[in-house]
A and B are shown apart, each in its own frame.
Chain A
Amino acid sequence: MNNFDKNEPIVSFKNVCVAFKNTRVLKDLSFDIYPGEIVTIAGPSGSGKSTILKLLGNIIRMDSGEIVVNASRLGMAFQKSALFNSMTIWKNVALALEETTNLSKKKIRKKVKETLEMVSLSYTENMYPDELSGGMQKRISIARALVVSPEIILYDEPSTGLDPGIASKLEDDMIKLRDKTGVTSIVVTHDVETIKKVSDRVLVLYDGKIKWEGTKNEFITDNSPYPRSFRERCTIEDLLSQT
């Protein structure tokens, strides 16, 4: 379990702005995330959800603002799994340890084995990604993120492209992992079932800003257009025009 002060944010965004060419994607975005939470960032397509994860993963840079991350190890499970097709599952999971740590081969083997057992896929270690189903690839992607013992794990659209049964199992795994390891989880999704199942707290992102924030129960019951748009499967614009 990670030992963090639960009252000190582990991730803090302060007035963050990001623009791609002439389009402003994030506009003075500010929010805090606390240790051990599962925070879901929900929003319509193109609202900038994945941009937040890319900023945290150092994949892109912000134009202005400040991001404070009080953690040294970070893992990310990608929307398209992003497994290396030319490598076996074992090599995929071991890569980050081999390239960024001084652990012995024996320790790496033990760690990879434990991590694959955690997602119940240890029997796939000699297989290649294209031999696995979409759901299994997502779970391997999570194992790959977990192998570095991250303090924060980022999930980009974890249930997208999966059938409901597999998606539900994956969501169970996400909750179990948090309960077992205490890892702070940031989930980006627009899937209302995922939001309702895994979230401790929900942030609704719209037009580059956090427009609504609340607990899972508030998300289910609140009549504000932002959570309602997800529950009623309509656009935020439609609901805003009615109010």
Chain B
Amino acid sequence: MYRSAVEQIGEGGINLIKTFWYISRGKINYEEVARQIVTTGIGSLFIASITASFVGLVLTLQISNQLRQFGAEHFIGAIVSSSAIRELGPIISAIVVSGRVGSAVSAEIGSMKSSEQIDALIVFGIDPVRYLIVPRLLASAIITPLLCSLSTFLCIMSGMVLANSAFNLSFDTYLDTVRLVNTTYDVSVMLLKACIFGITIAIVATTTGLQVRGGAEAVGEAATKTVVWNYILIFIFNYFISSYFFRVGYE
């Protein structure tokens, strides 16, 4: 198991380096990138919207009850928005992309591997990294921040609607505190985080797919492995990125 994990990390690292090398040399199939963005992005919109909206609602509910004890309900917007921008937006979008897109990419590439399609690419002199990983990584790196922006927006807006309807907090008060505590720096870090998560998801999914040995069972295992690895890495990276930018931002 440890050997498999080390192999996976090593191969993922090599694939990442090769992918950036191809991107830096402009060897990008833009048509395929656009196709990947449309198929992965549009398919994830609904689930990301629903998830983010309900996270915003439940967060508002929990915070309001706590803040009401101290007479500080007017800070609901500040807490909901900073939680959404700094943590929840990137995490929700990454989980949606990993669960919906990462597993599908892994299964697609895994079944290509088991049916010798990857071998066919190699024989024809087409590097699978350039042909399969580059467009998927770029699409994921673009679509995850976009979904993150949407998730964050809906999380804040759903909180605002609940705060107004259940706790009589005006929209203006809510939005004033949103503006008070959040800066451009926070939004930039949010987008950067989402972009890193998108790259991680694509590399893990494609590398796991390329490592498939065997038939349908191995393809299923690869899809599951992709989701598990992505969740672990997303939460670990999230902590380190947050702690780094938290320190840098306050200094």
Check if B119 sits within 8 Å of A82, measured CB to CB.
Answer: yes
Q: Say whether B124 faces chain A, with CB atoms less than 8 Å apart.
A: yes
| B42 on the A face (CB < 8 A) | no
Is B249 interfacial (CB-CB < 8 Å)? no
Is B131 engaged at the interface, CB distance under 8 Å to the other chain?
Answer: yes
CB pair A54 B119 closer than 8 Å: yes
- Pick from B112, B115, B116, B124: contact of A96, CB under 8 Å: B124
Query: Can you give 18 A-B contacts (C-beta < 8 A)?
Result: A54-B119, A57-B122, A58-B123, A59-B122, A59-B123, A75-B124, A76-B120, A78-B116, A80-B115, A80-B116, A82-B120, A84-B117, A95-B124, A96-B125, A99-B125, A100-B124, A100-B126, A154-B123
Taking A58-B122, A76-B119, A78-B120 as known contacts, 15 extra A-B pairs with beta carbons closer than 8 A to each other, sorted by chain A number, are A57-B119, A59-B119, A59-B123, A76-B120, A78-B119, A82-B115, A82-B116, A82-B119, A82-B120, A83-B117, A96-B126, A99-B131, A100-B124, A100-B126, A154-B123
Chain B interface bracket (under 10, 10 to 19, 20 to 34, 35 or more): 10 to 19
Contact B126 A95 (CB under 8 A): yes
Which chain A residues lie closer than 8 Å to B124 at the CB level?
A: 75, 95-96, 99-100, 148
Q: Across the two chains, which residue of chain A brings its CB closest to B125?
A: A100
Q: Is A74 an interface residue (CB 8 A)?
A: yes
- B residues contacting A by CB (< 8 A) are 112, 115-117, 119-120, 122-126, 131
**Min CB gap A118→B, angstroms:** 18
Q: Which residues of B contact A79 (CB under 8 A)?
A: 116
Interface residues of A (CB under 8 A from B): 54, 57-59, 74-76, 78-80, 82-84, 95-96, 99-100, 144, 148, 154
How long is the Cα–Cα vector from A22 to B41 in the complex, in angstroms?
44
Cβ–Cβ < 8 Å partners of A154 in chain B: 123
- Is the Cβ of A76 less than 8 Å from the Cβ of B125? no
Chain B residues near A84 (CB, 8 Å)? 112, 117, 120
Q: Within 8 Å CB of A83, what residues of B?
A: 117
Name the residue of chain A whose CB is nearest to the CB of B117.
Answer: A82
The CA of A144 and the CA of B117, in the complex, are separated in Å by 12
How far is the CB of B213 from the nearest CB of chain A, in Å?
Answer: 10
Give the chain B neighbours of A78 by CB distance below 8 A.
116, 119-120
4 smallest A-B Cβ distances: which pairs? A82-B116, A96-B124, A57-B123, A82-B120
With a CB–CB cut-off of 8 A, which chain A residues contact B120?
Answer: 76, 78, 82, 84, 144
- Once the chains are docked, how many angstroms separate the CA of A99 from the CA of B129? 13
Q: Using CB atoms, name the residue of chain B closest to A73.
A: B125
Q: Across the interface, which residues of B come within 8 angstroms of A96, CB to CB? A: 124-126
A76 touches B123 (CB 8 A): yes
The distance in angstroms between the C-alpha atoms of A133 and B184, with both chains bound, is 59
Identify the interface centre among B115, B117, B119, B124: most chain A CB within 10 Å of its CB: B124
